[in-house]
Amino acid sequence: MAPFDPDAAAHPDAGIFGLPDTRDDAHVVLFPVPFDATTSYGGGTHRGPAAILNASVQVDLFDFQFGRIYTQGIHMLPEPKAILKASKDARKLAAPIIAKCGADAKDRKTVAKIEKACELVNTHTYHTAWSVLAQGKVPGLIGGDHSTPFGAIRACAEYVERLQATERRLAPRDKGLGILHIDAHMDLRPAFEGFKYSHASIMYNVLSEIPEVTRLVQVGIRDFGEFEHDFAESQGRRVVTNYDLDWSTRLSEGESFSALAAKAVRELPQYVYISFDIDGLDPSLCPNTGTPVPGGLSFNQAAVLLKALVDAGKKVVGFDLVEVCPSNDPKQPEWDANVGARVLYKLCGAAIDRSAAGV
């Protein structure tokens, strides 16, 4: 077999980013979760993982920030057909409820069926993430909507708890798992439109049900309800929200983005999970995502933020990339997937050993 040439054109039958890595070879194991039952504005993120896979072969493999990311191995598991079917079935049930702006008493049985599908996803992502962690690898979830990573976050939190049980001299601020949450939205609704496992409720569910998550640092936030704002405030230092308008104001007054990023990541404990909703970026980079919001990070700002996390010595134990939605127009270039693939490569870069990547 010919040696792998990172500068050659990717073979169409190759794996993610055109890489030949198997699961055993890879340090980062990606797993697609094509599920978007409760998306409330625009739908179609169940097609995101496949679109990112197709676009990924256009990504050049030497990264300016993280070097030879590919040398540590990246492998993507196949799409689970059962999850895709559950998404389509649950979406059919949810669509009439979403159309009338929420469930009522008559929808109780239908909502229960939708929640059962969501719980199937939670179980799948929990066990898949744990199987990757047990091999000493980093799990990376590719959604789907933002409800999908709940089980993966739970697995990573339990994994960190086990690691820290054997660590000595652990500083109090480093206990537990921190989440770096990049998003336009706070996702702190107890439920949305009657759905407990809504894409708008992921971080509320995490904070309520996963006590090992000790710090949530949010970046890019610019669209939220009053309850969400007050709930975040009620959590004290467990939730640190960096509002997009505040950062924009401070940038206009002369503060550097790198300083803002460094300050944000210092709030996180040693072990970190990154939850990256693509709508945290400027909507020109993700025009087809389900809930685009004006403002947000540029691609380069997101890259600086991830580099700041690494430079701060934080250990990324898992991550997700969600809400990437390809266009329904066959004539429109796959811009959303193109950007998503590049964000995904940056996330892999943040999760690998930099010295081994030639940086």
Report pLDDT digits (tens) over 209-259: 999 999 999 999 999 999 999 999 999 999 999 999 999 999 999 999 999
Q: Measured between alpha carbons, how far is 313 from 276 in angstroms, rounded to an integer?
A: 19
> CB atoms < 10 A from the CB of 14, how many?
15
Q: What is the CA radius of gyration of the chain?
A: 19
Write the pLDDT tens digit of every residue in 87-110.
999 999 999 898 898 888 899 999
DSSP 104-160: -GGGHHHHHHHHHHHHHHHHHHHHHHHHHHTTT-EEEEEESSTTTTHHHHHHHHHHH
Task: Please state which CATH number belongs to domain 23-166+173-357.
Answer: 3.40.800.10
Q: What is the mean pLDDT of residues 163-172?
A: 84
User: What is the Cα–Cα distance from 108 to 123, expressed in whole angstroms?
Assistant: 22
For the segment 136-152, what is each residue's pLDDT rounded down to a tens digit? 999 999 999 999 999 99
At residue 128, the pLDDT reads 98
What is the per-residue pLDDT across 34-88, written as a single tens digit (0 to 9) for each? 999 888 776 789 999 999 999 999 999 999 999 999 999 999 999 999 999 999 9
pLDDT tens digit sequence for 9-20: 887 678 999 999
Predicted TM-score of the model (pTM): 0.95
Mean pLDDT of all residues belonging to the chain:
93
Closest Cα to residue 145, out of 58, 33, 224? Answer: 33
Spatial separation of the C-alpha atoms in residues 80 and 180, rounded to whole Å? 27
